[in-house]
A and B are shown apart, each in its own frame.
Chain A
């Protein structure tokens, strides 16, 4: 299958700071990428759709000013969690579709806000 990388794999930050997470498609181009959030023992909740060359589309209830998404190129999307708080601690995963609906996930980033 296609390869998607994500960096960093884990990060600890202090409350009020911002954290940037990168998602890259390594062997294919992705005009669209998706960002999910997963709490322990729960399902994947879509946060937003990242669109290359245009604004991201956010799901209902997701604060676009808090979760900034930039799709800088056909292989890179970034998620910045601004002014992070302990309740933002979670597992953040990106995914990229290959163009035939198949979607491959990055390894995830575990964010802990202290």
Chain B
């Protein structure tokens, strides 16, 4: 089955700076890569996703890049704000399947 690794496990960034979280996956047939943000005690929220036919996607301050050859994808948050502090999870699906395998999570702290 799919295996997803995520780094770093914790990340502290000065407010206004950029944050980058990286994930690698093992199944070359995976074709869907979402990112979720989870605040303490709350549900994971889908913040951005990318499909295998696209190399980059951007939504305001958030962007995701995908390198299919290297089997890795990254989340980029620019102009970070205190409300960006949360745990972020990457995930990858099984090909032709909606089942997701999640990374271990990154605890992002924005320092005011």
Contact = CB atoms under 8 A, between A and B. Distances in A.
Contact of A106 (B43, B99, B104): B43
Interface residues of A, number: 19
Contact of B34 (A34, A42, A49, A103): A103
Interface size grouping (class) on chain B: 20 to 34
A99 to B, nearest CB: 8
A102 B45 CA distance: 11
A56 to B, nearest CB: 13
Given A43-B89, A46-B99, A97-B98, A105 B44 contact: yes
A104 B41 CA distance: 16
Given A43-B89, A44-B102, A46-B100, A102 B43 contact: no
B46 A101 contact: no
Interface in A60-108: 93, 97, 101-108
Contacts of B49: 101-102
B104 A93 contact: no
A10 to B, nearest CB: 10
A110 B42 CA distance: 10
Interface of B: 32, 34, 36, 41-46, 49, 51, 89, 93, 98-105
